[in-house]
């Protein structure tokens, strides 16, 4: 029937601005047991709001520990999000055809934000609450530059100063990301930098350190803790950051309804865990509450930095130097400096505690993929769907393709949804390396990880 055929050919599922979610979903309300408490590094005791007050505005601290299932999104935040949200959901028909699969593949495209990724979803909220509590300057770290760009833009919207410690390897690989941040008014330095004690300490040990997210976090935390006018902002890992991203999954559910389809497999790449959580937590809710126990939810990480699949589930520092509180997470050891792979946003030694808890309880799965196979998937995606993905997002594409091929082999038709968390327009150096055969896979760094794990504090919990 012609009408049915037209309907079945739909490629984009677009929501109206009025469908922009009005609430964030807080998965803490649906956990069977509460998430392990965050501990004070000095006393080993659970920390209270006042311990975090030098670093974060109080409203975000409240959200961090809230047990409310839904938290209202302020109108001022929705007004900014409206610039690019709701983001589109695509059916990857051309990729499906190239794979010859019976699977339905959908991707939620977060690269439509002005900064090019999902990161502004939380940057806007964080800048808003800082402004509301009269903070005038924010310090942060950035890996690939996506988070720094997002926060630089958010600070421009709310009239805040912004200092970004950018992991040195990315600073060198991606000068245009730096210029983007500077265009939005941020000050950007390569980390480790001589601007902080933490940076100086690392440089003394290794003047050529490529940097890591852990080191850059140490610098930004120190910056905020030592200045009255400054708070710290983190682009992932923390509960409130993951919660701000849940608008992604809420929108996706509505869009899949429009497509008359239902997800069997939900996939996201995971660095600190925020885009993975953003898409998957509204789905994990269905597993936790028994509405859909069969759903598979897969986090994808790089095999050179496999915190979920190879890390220890233990209390560790969120940064390299040991300035942050202790959080229970899958960690490769806070001293672990990952190889300079191109997915800079996935080079983090730990993982969001809420993602780790769901992994520990087998609500979600995790898999690690090597760099070259990831870029092969990225190129296949670009040549069929057009969008050149961020190397981070390409990790999700790799597994979406693998699952679609498995679906074909087993003859079971699956609906696969993944988060295309950003575009790769500033990652063309990495694509060039891949296209000219210069890209390398990094071996699983067993010895380096074993050494870093010896530095994890011995805390029971
Ligand atoms: C495009 C993109 N996707 C994913 C990530 C990973 O971060 P997270 O795990 O917090 O989503 C990053 C981090 O910078 C990123 O830039």
- CA angle 427/429/431 to nearest 5° reads 75
Ligand 1 centre from 62 Cα, in Å? 24
Question: What is the DSSP annotation of 131-157?
Answer: HHTT--EEEEEESSSHHHHHHHHHHHH
- Atom from ligand 1 closest to the CA of residue 236: 10
What percent of the chain has a predicted confidence (pLDDT) above 90? 89
Beta-bridge partners for 231: 138
Q: What does the alpha-carbon distance between residue 229 and residue 232 come to, in Å, rounded to a whole number?
A: 11
pLDDT tens digits, 134-148: 999 999 999 889 999
This prediction has a pTM of 0.96
| CA nearest neighbour of 83 among 111, 112, 109 | 112
- Atom from ligand 1 closest to the CA of residue 147: 14
- Closest residue by Cα to atom 12, ligand 1, is 345
Tell whether the model's pLDDT for residue 1 goes beyond 60. Answer: no
334 and 48 Cβ atoms separated by less than 8 Å: no
- Closest residue by Cα to atom 1, ligand 1, is 422
Dihedral Cα 21, 127, 305, 37, nearest 10 deg: -80
- Closest residue by Cα to atom 13, ligand 1, is 345
Beta-bridge partners for 269: 300
What's the pLDDT score for residue 143?
87
pLDDT tens digits, 223-266: 999 999 999 999 999 999 999 999 999 999 999 999 999 999 99
| CA nearest neighbour of 344 among 184, 147, 120 | 147
Q: What does the alpha-carbon distance between residue 12 and residue 109 come to, in Å, rounded to a whole number?
A: 10
Structure tokens at 289: 């509450």
Ligand 1 centre from 66 Cα, in Å? 24
DSSP 261: -
Ligand 1 centre from 158 Cα, in Å? 23
CA distances from 129 to 7, 59, 63, 161, 241 (A): 43, 7, 11, 14, 13
pLDDT tens digits, 319-331: 988 889 999 999 9
Residues lining ligand 1, CB < 6 A?
Answer: 117, 143-144, 146-147, 236, 269-276, 345-346, 390, 392-393, 421-422
Tokens 């010895």 identify what position?
A: 447
Q: What does the alpha-carbon distance between residue 257 and residue 87 come to, in Å, rounded to a whole number?
A: 15
Ligand 1 centre from 8 Cα, in Å? 32
pLDDT tens digits, 396-445: 999 999 999 999 999 999 999 999 999 999 999 999 999 999 999 998 88
pLDDT tens digits, 7-62: 578 999 999 999 999 999 999 999 999 999 999 988 889 999 999 999 999 999 99
What's the pLDDT score for residue 444?
83
Ligand 1 centre from 113 Cα, in Å? 14
pLDDT tier, 213 (very low <50, low <70, confident <90, very high otherwise): confident
- Atom from ligand 1 closest to the CA of residue 270: 9
289 and 32 Cβ atoms separated by less than 8 Å: no
Ligand 1 centre from 345 Cα, in Å? 5
Which of 105-109, 165-169, 176-180, 445-449 is predicted with the least confidence, judged by mean pLDDT?
445-449
pLDDT tier, 173 (very low <50, low <70, confident <90, very high otherwise): confident
Structure tokens at 458: 């011995």
- Atom from ligand 1 closest to the CA of residue 116: 1
Q: In testing the pocket of ligand 1, which one of 87, 108, 119 has its CB within 8 Å of the most ligand atoms?
A: 119
Ligand 1 centre from 410 Cα, in Å? 32
- Atom from ligand 1 closest to the CA of residue 346: 6
Taking all residues of the chain, what is their mean pLDDT, rounded to a whole number? Answer: 95
Q: What does the alpha-carbon distance between residue 281 and residue 219 come to, in Å, rounded to a whole number?
A: 30
What's the pLDDT score for residue 5?
42
What's the pLDDT score for residue 7?
54
pLDDT tens digits, 342-383: 888 898 999 999 999 999 999 999 999 999 999 999 999 999
Ligand 1 centre from 118 Cα, in Å? 8
Ligand 1 centre from 4 Cα, in Å? 38
């Amino acid at each position: 029937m012609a009408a049915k055929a037209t309907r079945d050919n739909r490629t984009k599922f677009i929501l109206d601005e009025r469908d922009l979610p009005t609430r964030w979903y807080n998965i803490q309300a649906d956990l069977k047991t509460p998430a392990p408490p965050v501990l004070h590094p000095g006393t080993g005791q659970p920390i209270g709001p006042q311990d975090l007050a030098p670093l974060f505005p109080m409203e975000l601290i409240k959200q961090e520990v809230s047990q409310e299932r839904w938290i209202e999104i302020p109108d001022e935040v929705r007004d900014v999000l409206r610039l690019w949200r709701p983001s589109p959901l695509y059916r990857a028909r051309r990729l499906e055809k190239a794979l010859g699969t019976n699977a339905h593949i959908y991707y939620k495209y977060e690269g439509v934000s002005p900064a090019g990724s999902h990161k502004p979803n939380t940057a806007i909220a964080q800048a808003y609450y800082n402004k509301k509590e009269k903070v005038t300057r924010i310090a942060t770290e950035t890996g690939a530059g996506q988070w720094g760009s997002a926060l630089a833009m958010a600070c421009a919207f709310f009239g805040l100063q912004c200092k970004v410690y950018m992991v040195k390897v990315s600073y060198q690989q991606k000068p245009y990301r730096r210029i983007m941040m500077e265009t939005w008014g941020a000050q950007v330095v390569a980390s480790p930098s001589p601007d902080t004690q933490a940076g100086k300490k690392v440089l003394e040990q290794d003047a050529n350190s490529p940097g890591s997210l852990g080191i850059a976090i140490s610098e930004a935390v120190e910056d905020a803790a030592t200045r009255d006018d400054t708070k710290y902002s983190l682009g992932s890992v923390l509960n409130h950051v993951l919660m701000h991203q849940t608008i992604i999954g809420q929108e996706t559910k509505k869009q899949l309804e429009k497509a008359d389809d239902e997800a069997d497999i939900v996939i996201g790449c995971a660095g600190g865990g925020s885009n993975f959580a953003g898409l998957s937590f509204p789905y994990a809710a269905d597993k936790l509450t028994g509405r859909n126990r069969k759903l598979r939810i897969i986090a994808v990480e790089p095999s050179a930095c496999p915190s979920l699949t190879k890390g220890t589930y233990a209390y560790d520092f969120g940064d390299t130097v040991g300035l942050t509180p202790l959080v229970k997470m899958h960690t490769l050891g806070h001293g672990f400096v990952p190889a300079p792979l191109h997915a800079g946003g996935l080079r983090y030694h730990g993982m969001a505690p809420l993602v780790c808890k769901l992994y520990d309880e087998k609500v979600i799965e995790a898999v690690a993929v090597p760099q070259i196979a990831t870029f092969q998937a990225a190129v296949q995606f670009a040549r069929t769907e057009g969008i050149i993905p961020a190397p981070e997002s390409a990790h999700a594409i790799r597994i979406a393709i693998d699952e679609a091929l498995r679906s074909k082999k087993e003859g079971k038709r699956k609906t696969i949804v993944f988060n295309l968390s950003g575009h790769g327009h500033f990652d063309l150096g990495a694509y060039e390396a891949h296209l000219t055969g210069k890209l390398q896979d990094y071996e699983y760094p067993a010895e380096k990880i074993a050494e870093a794990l010896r530095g994890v504090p011995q805390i029971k919990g």
